[in-house]
Amino acid sequence: MLSTFIQKSFVVPETFESEYFYFVPLNNEVVEQDFEAVSSSILELQGIFGENSSWPNEDLTLSESRKHMKVHEQEFHLRQAFAYSVFDINKILCLGSIYIDPSQLDGVNSDVYFWIRTDHSHMELQLQSTIQRWLNSMLQFLDLDKKLIWL
Protein backbone atom coordinates (compact mmCIF):
# COMPACT_ATOMS: atom_id res chain seq x y z
CA MET A 1 0.00 0.00 0.00
CA LEU A 2 1.28 3.44 -0.91
CA SER A 3 1.87 5.90 1.89
CA THR A 4 0.17 9.27 1.97
CA PHE A 5 2.16 11.80 0.00
CA ILE A 6 0.38 14.93 1.23
CA GLN A 7 0.04 16.41 4.68
CA LYS A 8 -2.76 14.91 6.75
CA SER A 9 -4.17 18.37 7.42
CA PHE A 10 -4.57 19.15 3.72
CA VAL A 11 -8.18 19.25 2.54
CA VAL A 12 -8.16 17.66 -0.89
CA PRO A 13 -10.23 19.71 -3.34
CA GLU A 14 -13.40 18.01 -4.50
CA THR A 15 -13.80 20.39 -7.43
CA PHE A 16 -11.94 23.13 -9.21
CA GLU A 17 -13.27 25.64 -11.70
CA SER A 18 -11.27 27.81 -14.07
CA GLU A 19 -12.07 29.95 -17.07
CA TYR A 20 -12.31 26.92 -19.39
CA PHE A 21 -12.44 23.80 -17.24
CA TYR A 22 -14.21 22.14 -14.34
CA PHE A 23 -12.44 19.35 -12.40
CA VAL A 24 -14.26 16.71 -10.37
CA PRO A 25 -12.86 13.46 -8.90
CA LEU A 26 -13.09 10.45 -11.18
CA ASN A 27 -15.93 8.34 -9.83
CA ASN A 28 -18.96 6.38 -10.93
CA GLU A 29 -21.03 9.56 -11.24
CA VAL A 30 -18.94 10.58 -14.27
CA VAL A 31 -18.11 7.12 -15.62
CA GLU A 32 -20.32 7.32 -18.70
CA GLN A 33 -19.02 10.73 -19.77
CA ASP A 34 -15.44 9.62 -19.06
CA PHE A 35 -15.95 6.39 -21.02
CA GLU A 36 -17.21 8.37 -24.01
CA ALA A 37 -14.17 10.68 -23.84
CA VAL A 38 -11.76 7.74 -23.59
CA SER A 39 -13.52 5.88 -26.39
CA SER A 40 -13.23 8.93 -28.66
CA SER A 41 -9.44 9.02 -28.19
CA ILE A 42 -8.28 5.44 -27.60
CA LEU A 43 -5.45 5.40 -30.13
CA GLU A 44 -4.01 8.68 -28.84
CA LEU A 45 -4.23 7.50 -25.22
CA GLN A 46 -2.46 4.18 -25.64
CA GLY A 47 0.89 4.38 -23.90
CA ILE A 48 0.07 7.46 -21.81
CA PHE A 49 1.12 5.57 -18.67
CA GLY A 50 4.22 4.05 -20.26
CA GLU A 51 5.11 1.18 -22.52
CA ASN A 52 3.97 -1.46 -20.03
CA SER A 53 0.47 -0.05 -19.68
CA SER A 54 -2.33 -1.69 -21.64
CA TRP A 55 -4.85 1.07 -20.90
CA PRO A 56 -6.96 1.78 -22.78
CA ASN A 57 -7.32 -1.28 -24.93
CA GLU A 58 -9.40 -0.99 -28.08
CA ASP A 59 -12.17 -3.21 -26.72
CA LEU A 60 -12.56 -1.32 -23.42
CA THR A 61 -16.09 -1.67 -22.06
CA LEU A 62 -18.20 0.52 -19.80
CA SER A 63 -18.14 -2.29 -17.25
CA GLU A 64 -14.32 -2.23 -17.20
CA SER A 65 -14.42 1.54 -16.86
CA ARG A 66 -16.67 1.20 -13.81
CA LYS A 67 -14.04 -1.09 -12.22
CA HIS A 68 -11.32 1.46 -12.94
CA MET A 69 -13.47 4.19 -11.39
CA LYS A 70 -13.87 2.21 -8.18
CA VAL A 71 -10.09 1.98 -7.91
CA HIS A 72 -9.73 5.74 -8.45
CA GLU A 73 -12.45 6.45 -5.88
CA GLN A 74 -10.77 4.23 -3.29
CA GLU A 75 -7.33 5.77 -3.90
CA PHE A 76 -8.84 9.25 -3.59
CA HIS A 77 -10.66 8.34 -0.37
CA LEU A 78 -7.49 6.80 1.11
CA ARG A 79 -5.41 9.80 -0.09
CA GLN A 80 -3.08 7.49 -2.01
CA ALA A 81 -3.57 9.10 -5.44
CA PHE A 82 -5.89 11.68 -6.93
CA ALA A 83 -7.64 11.40 -10.28
CA TYR A 84 -9.93 14.06 -11.68
CA SER A 85 -12.23 14.19 -14.65
CA VAL A 86 -11.91 17.36 -16.70
CA PHE A 87 -15.18 18.84 -17.97
CA ASP A 88 -15.92 21.88 -20.05
CA ILE A 89 -16.92 24.94 -18.06
CA ASN A 90 -20.61 24.09 -18.58
CA LYS A 91 -20.00 20.75 -16.82
CA ILE A 92 -21.50 18.82 -19.75
CA LEU A 93 -18.73 17.38 -21.89
CA CYS A 94 -15.91 15.31 -20.40
CA LEU A 95 -12.71 16.58 -21.98
CA GLY A 96 -10.16 14.32 -20.30
CA SER A 97 -8.55 13.38 -17.00
CA ILE A 98 -5.78 14.33 -14.58
CA TYR A 99 -3.86 11.82 -12.45
CA ILE A 100 -1.72 12.86 -9.49
CA ASP A 101 0.23 9.88 -8.21
CA PRO A 102 3.04 9.52 -5.68
CA SER A 103 6.31 9.33 -7.54
CA GLN A 104 8.67 6.37 -7.32
CA LEU A 105 11.62 8.68 -8.09
CA ASP A 106 13.84 10.02 -5.31
CA GLY A 107 13.39 13.73 -4.74
CA VAL A 108 10.08 13.83 -6.59
CA ASN A 109 6.77 14.07 -4.75
CA SER A 110 4.25 13.47 -7.50
CA ASP A 111 3.90 12.33 -11.06
CA VAL A 112 1.22 14.24 -12.93
CA TYR A 113 -0.41 12.78 -16.02
CA PHE A 114 -3.21 14.34 -17.99
CA TRP A 115 -4.95 13.88 -21.30
CA ILE A 116 -7.51 15.72 -23.35
CA ARG A 117 -9.82 14.17 -25.89
CA THR A 118 -8.65 14.27 -29.49
CA ASP A 119 -11.42 16.57 -30.75
CA HIS A 120 -10.34 19.18 -28.15
CA SER A 121 -6.57 18.79 -28.55
CA HIS A 122 -6.40 22.49 -29.44
CA MET A 123 -7.01 23.12 -25.71
CA GLU A 124 -4.16 20.91 -24.45
CA LEU A 125 -1.81 23.79 -23.58
CA GLN A 126 -4.63 25.65 -21.82
CA LEU A 127 -5.36 22.55 -19.77
CA GLN A 128 -1.70 22.01 -18.90
CA SER A 129 -1.33 25.63 -17.84
CA THR A 130 -4.51 25.45 -15.76
CA ILE A 131 -3.35 22.27 -14.01
CA GLN A 132 0.07 23.78 -13.30
CA ARG A 133 -1.44 26.93 -11.77
CA TRP A 134 -3.89 24.87 -9.73
CA LEU A 135 -1.23 22.53 -8.37
CA ASN A 136 1.23 25.36 -7.72
CA SER A 137 -1.43 27.05 -5.59
CA MET A 138 -1.50 23.90 -3.43
CA LEU A 139 2.27 23.21 -3.24
CA GLN A 140 2.47 24.53 0.31
CA PHE A 141 0.59 21.40 1.39
CA LEU A 142 2.97 19.01 -0.34
CA ASP A 143 6.43 18.03 0.80
CA LEU A 144 8.33 21.17 -0.17
CA ASP A 145 11.66 19.31 -0.42
CA LYS A 146 10.30 17.44 -3.40
CA LYS A 147 8.83 18.47 -6.74
CA LEU A 148 6.19 17.47 -9.24
CA ILE A 149 7.09 15.66 -12.44
CA TRP A 150 4.96 16.19 -15.55
CA LEU A 151 4.58 13.07 -17.67
How many CB atoms are located within 10 Å of the residue 140 CB? 9
**Residue range 4-22, pLDDT digits in tens:** 567 777 788 999 999 999 9
CATH number at residue 22: 3.40.630.30
Lowest-confidence range among 23-32, 67-76, 140-149? 140-149
In a domain, 1, yes or no: no
Domains held by the chain: number:
1
Q: Which residues constitute the domain of residue 123?
A: 16-150
Residue 2 lies in a domain: no
Would residue 121 count as lying in a domain?
Answer: yes
